[in-house]
Amino acid sequence: MFNLILFGPPGAGKGTQAVKIAEKFGWKHVSTGDILRAEVSQGTPLGLKVKSVMDAGLLVSDDLLIEIMESVFVKHAAVKGFVLDGFPRTLNQAQELDKMLLKHGQEVSLVVALEVDEDELVNRLLKRAQDQGRKDDTAEVIKNRLVQYHHHTKPLIDYYTDKKLYREVYGVGTVEDIFSQLCTVINP
């Protein structure tokens, strides 16, 4: 099983590229953001619990995320591969992911980051606010999301570099050009 982590700051294009990668290689795309938003829109107990955290651009608790991921792995144990989009986002999540994969006889295969400068990230998310009206795409909340990224998520670069699993692809350009560079790096 190929376990790919698509990494990067909010707005880097992880969601956009993860869908294409999953389709090309026949892997399961897992977006923790999409899973959480679905819970919120269905008004489930979990959704009610995480709504205010997400609207503020903060990170949902590690325990909840790890529980969600464990159930995803169990449910889709027979797939050829996973594209993880938005997970892990903290060092604790990364360590728990390693443990969870080990329990299933698996490991992280590769981590590919999309590298995009901060002005471009903010522009993309503000544009998405106009197109899709996502609650967490306001200027104030975007700032919080970037702070969360720098504080909690960026340290994972060292974690995966030490494991020799980390690669970067420049994430500015056309979606197709970026996709083709990603495919070259992934090369399963």
Q: First and final CA of the chain: distance in angstroms?
A: 10
Question: Closer CB to ligand B4P, residue 53 or residue 183?
Answer: 53
> Is residue 30 within 8 Å of residue 48, measured between CB atoms?
no
Q: Is 167 a catalytic residue?
A: no
Q: Which of residues 94-123 bind ligand B4P (CB under 6 A)?
A: none
Contact 88, 94 (CB under 8 A): yes
Among 5, 10, 20, 29, binds ligand B4P (CB under 6 A): 10
Closest CB to ligand B4P among residues 16, 106: 16
Q: Which of 3, 7, 11, 160 binds ligand B4P (CB under 6 A)?
A: 11
Burial of 62 (0-12, 13-18, 19+ CB in 10 A): middle
How many CA atoms lie less than 13 Å away from 115 in the CB half-sphere? Answer: 7
Cis peptide upstream of residue 188 (ω within 30 degrees of 0): no
Q: Closest Cα to residue 83, out of 141, 25, 38?
A: 25
Helices (H), 26-117: 32-42, 45-55, 62-75, 91-103
* Nearer residue to ligand B4P within complex by CB, 59 or 108: 59
When binding is defined by CB under 6 A, the residue of 1, 73, 82, 86 that contacts ligand B4P is 86
Annotated catalytic residue 124: no
| Choices 22-30, 39-47, 86-94, 156-164 (CB under 6 A): range interacting with ligand B4P | 86-94
**In the beta sheet, which residues pair with residue 28?**
82
Pick the piece of the chain touching ligand B4P (CB under 6 A) from 20-28, 59-67, 71-79, 100-108.
Answer: 59-67
* Residue 89: active-site member: yes
Which residues sit at the interface with ligand B4P, rule CB under 6 A? Answer: 10-16, 32-33, 36, 53-54, 57-60, 65, 86-87, 89, 93, 124, 128, 136, 145, 175, 178
Q: Which residues are catalytic?
A: 14, 89, 128, 134, 145
